[in-house]
Amino acid sequence: MGEASDAVEAREQLVRAVIGLVAELGFEAVSVRQVAMRADVSGGTVQYYFPTKQAMLLAAMAEVAARVTSTVTAYRRDLPPAAAVRKTARKIVPLTKASDEEVRVWLAFTARAAVDEDLAAEHRKTGGLLEAYLADLLARAAGRTSGDPVDRANSAVLLATLDGLALGAITEPRRLPKRRLARLVDSAVDHAIESSKHG
Partner DNA sequence: CATGAATGAGCATTCATTCAT
Partner DNA sequence: TATGAATGAATGCTCATTCAT
The mark string for 109-138 relative to a second copy (x by CB under 8 A, - otherwise) is -xxxxxxx---x--xx--xx--x-------
Q: Which stretch binds a second copy (CB under 8 A): 6-14, 55-63, 73-81, 165-173?
A: 165-173
Residue 41, interface with a second copy (CB under 8 A)?
A: no
For residue 187, the tally of other CB atoms under 10 A from its CB is 11
| Burial zone of 159 (CB within 10 Å; 0-12 exposed, 13-18 middle, 19+ buried) | buried
141 or 176, CB closer to a second copy?
Answer: 176
User: Minimal CA–CA distance to 188: which of 149, 158, 165, 168?
Assistant: 158
Choosing from 6, 33, 54, 180, the residue that interacts with a second copy (CB under 8 A) is: 180
End-to-end alpha-carbon separation of the chain, Å?
A: 57
- Identify what 163 binds: DNA, a second copy, none; CB under 5 to 8 Å per kind: a second copy
| CB contact set of 59 (below 8 Å; sequence gap of 6+) | 11, 14, 15, 18, 50
| Residues in 50-89 that interact with DNA by CB under 7 A | 51-54
Count of residues engaged in binding a second copy, rule: CB under 8 A: 46
- Identify what 34 binds: a second copy, DNA, none; CB under 5 to 8 Å per kind: DNA
Whole-number Å distance between alpha carbons of 86 and 196: 15
Nearest approach in angstroms of CB 78 to a second copy is 26
DSSP annotation of 28 reads G
Contact 100, 171 (CB under 8 A): no
Nearest approach in angstroms of CB 117 to DNA is 15
Which amino acid, residue 198? Answer: H
DSSP annotation of 40 reads T
Q: Which residues bind a second copy (CB under 8 A)?
A: 25-29, 104, 107-108, 110-116, 120, 123-124, 127-128, 131, 153, 156-157, 159-165, 167-168, 170-172, 174-176, 180, 183-184, 187-188, 191, 195
